[in-house]
Chains A and B, each alone.
Chain A
Amino acid sequence: MTKDNEPIEGMGECKTPEHTMHRRLFLQGMMGAGAASLMSWNGLFAMNAFAAEAKKQDKHCILLWLCGAPSQFETWDPKPNSIYGGPFGSIPTKIPGVHFGELMPKCATIADKMSIVRSMKTKQGEHFQAINLLQRGAEPREPFVRPTLGSVLAQQLGHLDSPIPNFILLDPNPKGNEFESFKAGNWAGWLGAQYGPVRAGGEYKLVDVKRLADTTTQDFEQREALRKFLTRKYENDRASAAASSQNAVFSRVKGLMSCADLFDLNKVNPKDRERYGPGNFGLHTLLARNLVENGAPFVMVANGMPWDCHVFQHEVYQMLVPEVDKIIYNLITDLEERGLLDKTLIVMMGEFGRTPWLNVARGRDHYPDAWSLAMAGAGIKRGVVVGATDDDGVDVTEKPFNEKNLFATIFSALGIDPYAEYEEKDIATFYRVEEHAAPIREILL
């Protein structure tokens, strides 16, 4: 054990005395909640300090989270001439010389509206660790918990007092092995529970959204104010994270009740629904579009881990890829029609790629060495393909990018400083993107 009055040796980044102090304080425990205890009853009714601050430009982000890890070969980086190419061919796209997998005919027609990164190269080939890596943008450094992309964007793009939650997770599937474990974890990390996701979709229906008949608005406001006051008092007295999380969710109740219809699957336009396809991923992407149209800063759409096809890959992908092809096509064209594409960043990715070589169970296994993802919308160039892999898709031959480059790109595209230092109290020195990793400049506007 290191004695706490000695500097920590060899920690590389931990050189400054301030940081040594941070670190030491951390070892002893969090610093007290002194500042927050100034809160008073009257403060409850005052305008939220954050809301007063003029908010950054009106930007949004939709993450189509293709969890389980989709294959690059059947989507953005086909290798029809390779022995590993699989049974699906490739088709030309709107970008001359660029082909997509043949299961993506609709995206091929709007390739000039998106950017493709074909040279992702990361280091985690296990789901749980890789999901964390691609959701948080850096390796874990315990015991600190880095916030997920959604939580950072909720903080940076959202308004704490907006009726629509700042971070919406649409995922109908309560299960999903490693993703299930990830979901049970701490999304918001050191940013705090108010930046965690509001989960909806599928079995996570939002019921109890109507005020009880004999409860007036005044009842509602007054008792909630009292509840919040008591909970804040408890939080301050006891430095309670549980109380803080409870206030975070209760603070969303009123707003959510005013926009509950946006989450109601039965209230989507049937024609839209037909275009997005009947499956639940399409339906939830459609909800995401509606939510963004109504001001939601960040929506993440997931559907368990269907892309993890160690078995029956081609049998499953013949359905999944056309579905996502249709979804991406409609999402991009809808947002463009509504004038929202320039304000909305769409990221389409999983946690890694799949092996070139097929296994005997008709599947492809985990492959972080060379994989692809796609982006479109806010801050992103149209019709750019960056990076390349060799003829068999075994390795990146041009411009490898990792999760840090990706996160720097996402933040840059949305006008957020990628290298800002976190100024949360009681933590070591962390940056929004570590190691000053460069964004993928080729695709940034």
Chain B
Amino acid sequence: MSALETPTRAGVADASVSLVAGKVLNLPTAVLALDRHPDGKRLFAACFDGGVYEVTLETGAHRLLGKHSSYASGVQYLPRADRLISAGYDGVLLWMNPAENKPIRTVAAHKFWSWKMRVSPDERFVGTVTGQYMAGGYKYEPAAESEPSVKVFEAETGKLRWSLPHVPPVLSVAFSPDSRYIAAANLMGEVRVWDLETGKQAAVWTTPDFTCWGIIKSHLYIGGIFDLMFSPDGRDLLACGMGPMIDPMAGNGKQTWQRFAWGEKPPRKVAQIRDADAGAGLMEILRFHPDQKLFVMAGRLAQGKWNTALFDNASGHLLHSLDTKMRVTDAVWLKNGTQLALAGMTSQGKKKDGKYPEFGHIKLFDLQRT
């Protein structure tokens, strides 16, 4: 219906980009996080089985580099140090040398899961977020944290730099492009930003549009901000997830991103996905294209037409969308932005002929401009 609000601007957006499906690499287990090696030949995948794998783009062959005792949920490659850092639902951070098959360092970061882990662009810091949703009130408001929800480690030494407070569960984390700020957001839509030089909180606000409280089937909170991303100029912070649902067990909230001028006092929402562009389903990942003019948001399709879409950075309009037929958990731009790798999973299946069906996938797409 936004078309009604902006009838004269309809069609303004650049309709000339599209994603063309290419190779599909299958893995025996779901991929929860993905990164790339700058050589353009290798990907790194964090998986359901706890494994952190190196995946060869050409052949799809995969090699185990490290193992968590529960789901591996984060993986980042540090090009300058030639190190790989992974995180898992075991609360552990692993440092690896991708050339070798064994961890260099193990840090027990949290008592509960690492929901998400990111490395600052300057490679100095590793940010990881945690927190178990525990009943804190009659309406099942989340209880206060029992351990720091946000931790920042030094990438080089593995030493804890900051322990930062939040309300668990904290689901997403992001570093500013200048590596000075870290942002983290939780189930309740509360976003906090800290200055990494002082450890002081620089901004805090709550958006109600990613969370719902059950009225149909249950009394509890469902949803949250599943990924955060600073704009290339660092001024704005984008959040994604899905909108409130009538029936919280239906998983059909609106596919949503919102953009905030976080430096303003108070922080202000400056843009959000247009109603007409959005279907329904949880959005789990936001990534800017290297040219900074567009970004990709992806996740799951519950209703509508797409689970992966490209948006124009300036207008926020949807440029192109497609249904990748899987839940997308992570996205990585390859080859200077001419290729997009999407990682994720399809539903687990029953054993067939004594084998478990492969349900982890990395799908490659070429970005075409005309």
Contacts and interface: CB of A to CB of B under 8 A. Distances in A.
A316 B132 CA distance: 10
B220 interface: yes
A305 B251 contact: no
Given A89-B70, A279-B137, A318-B132, A177 B216 contact: yes
A322 interface: yes
A361 B302 contact: yes
B1 interface: no
Nearest 7 Cβ contacts at the A-B interface: A306-B218, A311-B251, A357-B348, A360-B327, A279-B135, A305-B217, A319-B133
A361 B218 contact: no
7 contacts: A68-B218, A87-B71, A176-B217, A177-B217, A305-B218, A305-B249, A311-B222
A359 B347 contact: yes
A315 B222 contact: yes
A278 B135 contact: yes
Contacts of B112: 318
A89, A279, A357 — which one has the most chain B CB atoms within 10 A of its CB? Answer: A279
Interface of A: 68, 83-84, 87-89, 172-173, 175-177, 179, 277-280, 282-283, 303-306, 308-312, 315-316, 318-320, 322-323, 356-363, 392, 394
Contact of B218 (A89, A173, A282, A394): A173
Contacts of B133: 315-316, 318-319
Interface size class, chain B: 35 or more
A357 B347 contact: yes
Interface in B104-156: 112-113, 132-140, 142-143
A308 B247 CA distance: 11
B134, B302, B327 — which one has the most chain A CB atoms within 10 A of its CB? Answer: B134
Nearest to A68: B217
A251 B250 CA distance: 41
A323 B143 CA distance: 12
A310 B348 contact: no
A319 B132 contact: yes
Contact of B249 (A83, A308, A356, A358): A308
B49 interface: yes
A262 B272 CA distance: 50
Nearest to B348: A357
Nearest to B281: A361
Interface stretch (B9-17, B195-203, B332-340, B349-357): B349-357
Contacts of A172: 219
B140 A319 contact: yes
A282 B135 CA distance: 10
A322 B251 contact: no
B348 A306 contact: no
Contacts of B214: 304, 306
A358 B348 contact: yes
B49, B138, B327 — which one has the most chain A CB atoms within 10 A of its CB? Answer: B138
Contacts of B70: 87-89
A309 B348 contact: no
Contacts of A359: 347-348
Contacts of B216: 175-177, 304
A357 B349 contact: yes
A306 B136 contact: no
Contacts of A176: 216-218
B326 to A, nearest CB: 7
B69 interface: yes
A360 B48 CA distance: 13
A360 B326 contact: yes
B282 A278 contact: no
A303 B215 CA distance: 11
A283 B356 CA distance: 43
B71, B222, B247, B251 — which one has the most chain A CB atoms within 10 A of its CB? Answer: B251
B251 A310 contact: yes
A278 B138 contact: yes
B251 A361 contact: yes
Nearest to A315: B133
A360 B219 contact: no
Contacts of B251: 310-312, 361, 363
Nearest to B69: A89
A179 B216 CA distance: 10
B218 A303 contact: yes
Contact of B219 (A68, A177, A280, A308): A280
B45 interface: no
B105 to A, nearest CB: 23
B215 A311 contact: no
Contacts of A88: 70
B345 interface: yes
Given A279-B135, A315-B133, A308 B347 contact: no
Nearest to A355: B348
A297 to B, nearest CB: 27
A316 B220 contact: yes
Given A177-B216, A305-B218, A311-B251, A280 B134 contact: no
Contacts of A303: 218-219
B250 A84 contact: no
Contacts of A312: 222, 251
B346 interface: yes
Given A87-B70, A279-B135, A279-B138, A306 B350 contact: no
Nearest to B216: A175
Contacts of B347: 357-360
A83 B218 contact: no
A99 to B, nearest CB: 15
B249 A309 contact: yes
Interface in B243-267: 247, 249-251
A109 to B, nearest CB: 19
A283 B219 CA distance: 13
A312 to B, nearest CB: 6
Contact of B134 (A87, A89, A319): A319
A173 B219 contact: yes
B317 to A, nearest CB: 27
B351 A392 contact: yes
A87 B113 contact: yes
A68 B139 CA distance: 18
B356 A83 contact: yes
Given A68-B218, A89-B69, A319-B133, A311 B250 contact: yes
Contacts of B344: 360
Contacts of A84: 348
B295 interface: no
